[in-house]
Structure 1
Amino acid sequence: MLEKIDVFNFTLENGTTKPYLPLSYQLFGQPLGEAPIVVVNHALTGNSNVSGENGWWNDLIGEGKTIDTNFFTIIAFNIPGNGFDNNFRNLISDYKQFTIRDIANIFWEGLFSLDISEVYAVIGGSLGGAIAWEMAVLQPNKIQNLIPIATDWKATDWVIANVLIQDQILNNSDDPIADARLHAMLLYRTPQSINQRFKRAQNDRLAVFQIENWLLNHGIKLKNRFRLSAYKLMNHLLKTNDITRNRGDFLAVANEIQASIHIVAVDTDYFFIAHENRKDFEALKSVKDNIYYHEIESIHGHDAFLIEYAQLEQFLKPIFNKQKQQNYVNA
């Protein structure tokens, strides 16, 4: 069930005050106050429905799953303006005023309003992982495990460049959501993945290549369930990602995070490239003991974090089993 928190007089990073921002969320698993809290941040076209009917992370979250709803309370917020509440009044038009830091602050306001002062884990993939990094910097003592997946603590020039292309398509195309999705899908996969899947096959009835049909269908599906203002906002947020902005260098900022940091990269990710994650891990090892690095091996690129569940489960199970074992001891 979709719940809502009213956030009043919220000041954005740029100094603008928003009189009202609705923050919707969903809870899964154990009741609040009765179990460790896991915060799940959704990706660009995702939402708070992470488990149960139509849950987009059902392979990881549920009864007996890696993040076991029998042992944890899972909370997933919707990024304000993502349109999941189907309320047109809550859509955001001035999207360039918002940053990932603003979203992370809003999420903390939501947690505090629910009397949550500490969480066992914050986990997210892609955009959700970037928000997780920022949440950990904003409240460095309130997260036990930070798990950013297929993401980065910063927007590289490559990410910024692709955000610009997406923004141009979204603001200038006659069919903006569908056309932007065509470009995005090729960032989320790899040539090897595409070539292996379609093998230059054609659909004789439609007189098109199957890869063309696949891309066009992805565009249509997203257009049917996603709002243009939401896409513009989520895309823009990706370029605002930088935990060092107005703070200091990466090592100094990241070293303040008390959480165990579990970086999960994808070896073929063409969007948030694994090389950047490896560099960060090697640098952080010099100042921080509780830092861990895992790499998904896949031909599927960025989207592997939504495909290679067996590998992801292998990386995550020790983190969440540790808490489950502690629960048994304290029972």
Structure 2
Amino acid sequence: MAITSIGDFTTIAGATVTGAEISYRRHGEFRGNAYDNNVILVEHALTGDTDVTEWWPGLIGPGLALDTDRFCVICTNALGGCGGSTGPSSVHPDGRAWGSRFPALSIRDLVEAERRLLEQLGIYHVHAVIGGSMGGARALEWTLMYPTFVDAACIIAVSARASGWQIGIQTAQISAITRDPDWHGGDYYDICDGPREGLSAARRIAHLTYRGEMEIDERFGTIAQQGENPLGAFRRPDQRFAVNSYLDYQGRKLVERFDAGSYVTLTEALNRHDVGRGRSGLNKALYSSTVPTMLVGVDTDILYPFHQQEHLSRNIGQLMGLRKLVSPVGHDAFLTETRQMDRILRMFINKANDGAEPTDGFGHDPEGVWNI
């Protein structure tokens, strides 16, 4: 992982992050020049980081869908994150953590910071940008903010704006963190380990939106956790259904690797996501896009339902295609359904490569096939 300074960064809302830095990783050799090259920019989701081969295994490497023998794959850590980029846990110029002084961010801010990083690296154009969930929101904003910077985009499991439901469920997660006594108004870094219980609760809420209802019910149903009895005379938190044990585990995993301040900052950025804001509305903004764009959704996605990708496909200016992942997993299917994503990414790359006709990566013409 490398870290590069992008200087003082002023957000769209007018706050400044002094001496901002962005971290990134590169896979594959850079070929070409600043304006004509083999760079594919991959955008991570909410709690992702630069280690794209870890959170998207089987898709990036020699001979894989994003073939690092052909392409230079770059993955940055979003501004506001905790994977090397400047965020609430980073050191402020006064020597203390930024904490509550770190400003609110928008998806557009994340893209602008990333653009400044690329230009610091001498890159003024990329072959493609790909992202899912929050990464998809970033990829979509790339096509509207800097259309001449990007040859093609693949936007996965996201919408054109945050829905009321999404804002509500995401704000509930923020509330779980900020109501934890160890939050200390966001300035916990020098006081304690932070709002661990609140962050864990936020993750439990979020994880239910990341997975499919059918998958959760088929896996757990009303089964009790082994050795526990949730049907006793009195409710006890240590006597759980199996699903609760599973969610507790997911919460603990996140607490060990992610900062609560970054979780609040990036979740708020998702709440502010709206490509139509300041652009005469959603549909006009989408229609103005000149970047060839492939859209991907999941049939069982609760967080970003497939009708939201259908809306994008009906309005986006340069549609390459709409593909559907069929999976009981829900929103996370774009991370877990490797075989389906492999075929979709190969189609995308083939079509993005000098305008070639798409194939499924195995020489078959997928025209008219929407479910992969």
| Normalised TM-score (structure 2) | 0.80
Provide runs of 4+ in structure 1 moved above 6 Å.
323-327
Could you tell me how far apart the structure 2 residues matched to 1:123 and 1:70 are? 18
Instruction: Tell me, yes or no, if the aligned pair for 2:162 and 2:272 is still in contact at 8 Å.
Output: yes
Q: State whether structure 2 residue 220 is matched by structure 1 residue 198.
A: yes
Match of 1:138 among 125, 145, 149: 145
Could you tell me how far apart the structure 1 residues matched to 2:56 and 2:109 are? 25
Structure 1, unmatched stretches of 5+, are none
Q: Note closer, same or farther for the CA distance 1:283–1:253 as it changes in structure 2 (3 Å cut).
A: closer
Instruction: Quote the sequence identity (%).
Output: 29
| AA partner of residue 317 (structure 1) | R
Q: Note closer, same or farther for the CA distance 1:95–1:165 as it changes in structure 2 (3 Å cut).
A: farther
Instruction: Tell me, yes or no, if the aligned pair for 1:281 and 1:291 is still in contact at 8 Å.
Output: no
Instruction: Tell me, yes or no, if the aligned pair for 1:95 and 1:236 is still in contact at 8 Å.
Output: no
Aligned to 2:74, the other structure's residue is in SS state: strand
Q: Note closer, same or farther for the CA distance 1:172–1:133 as it changes in structure 2 (3 Å cut).
A: same
Match of 1:25 in 2: 24
Match of 1:179 in 2: 201
Q: State whether structure 2 residue 332 is matched by structure 1 residue 303.
A: yes
Q: Note closer, same or farther for the CA distance 1:38–1:225 as it changes in structure 2 (3 Å cut).
A: same
Could you tell me how far apart the structure 1 residues matched to 2:296 and 2:242 are? 32
Instruction: Tell me, yes or no, if the aligned pair for 1:120 and 1:143 is still in contact at 8 Å.
Output: yes
Could you tell me how far apart the structure 1 residues matched to 2:352 and 2:165 are? 38
Q: State whether structure 2 residue 262 is matched by structure 1 residue 235.
A: no
Could you tell me how far apart the structure 2 residues matched to 1:96 and 1:133 are? 23
Match of 1:294 in 2: 323
Structure 2, unmatched stretches of 5+, are 93-97, 182-196, 230-239, 357-372
Q: Note closer, same or farther for the CA distance 1:26–1:81 as it changes in structure 2 (3 Å cut).
A: same
Aligned to 1:205, the other structure's residue is in SS state: coil
Could you tell me how far apart the structure 1 residues matched to 2:276 and 2:355 are? 35
RMSD, aligned CA: 2.2
Pick which of 169-178 and 223-232 moved more: 169-178
Instruction: Tell me, yes or no, if the aligned pair for 2:8 and 2:18 is still in contact at 8 Å.
Output: yes
Could you tell me how far apart the structure 2 residues matched to 1:118 and 1:18 are? 25
Aligned to 1:115, the other structure's residue is in SS state: coil
Q: State whether structure 2 residue 149 is matched by structure 1 residue 157.
A: no
Instruction: Tell me, yes or no, if the aligned pair for 2:38 and 2:70 is still in contact at 8 Å.
Output: yes
Match of 1:316 in 2: 345
Larger radius of gyration: 2
Could you tell me how far apart the structure 1 residues matched to 2:285 and 2:315 are? 12
Match of 2:292 among 253, 260, 281: 260
| 1:27-56 CA distance string (max 9 Å, x none) | 1111364751100111011101012xxx11
1:209-248 alignment to 2 at 5 Å? 209-248=241-280
Instruction: Tell me, yes or no, if the aligned pair for 2:106 and 2:269 is still in contact at 8 Å.
Output: yes
Instruction: Tell me, yes or no, if the aligned pair for 1:26 and 1:48 is still in contact at 8 Å.
Output: yes
Shift of 1:76: 0.7
Could you tell me how far apart the structure 1 residues matched to 2:100 and 2:129 are? 28
Instruction: Tell me, yes or no, if the aligned pair for 2:128 and 2:150 is still in contact at 8 Å.
Output: yes
Q: State whether structure 2 residue 78 is matched by structure 1 residue 79.
A: yes
| 1:252-283 CA distance string (max 9 Å, x none) | 32233222111101111111111121122123
Instruction: Tell me, yes or no, if the aligned pair for 2:16 and 2:103 is still in contact at 8 Å.
Output: no
Shift of 1:17: 2.7
Match of 2:314 in 1: 282
Shift of 1:24: 0.8
Aligned to 1:203, the other structure's residue is in SS state: coil
Could you tell me how far apart the structure 1 residues matched to 2:141 and 2:27 are? 23
Instruction: Tell me, yes or no, if the aligned pair for 1:143 and 1:259 is still in contact at 8 Å.
Output: yes
| Normalised TM-score (structure 1) | 0.90
Shift of 1:157: 0.9
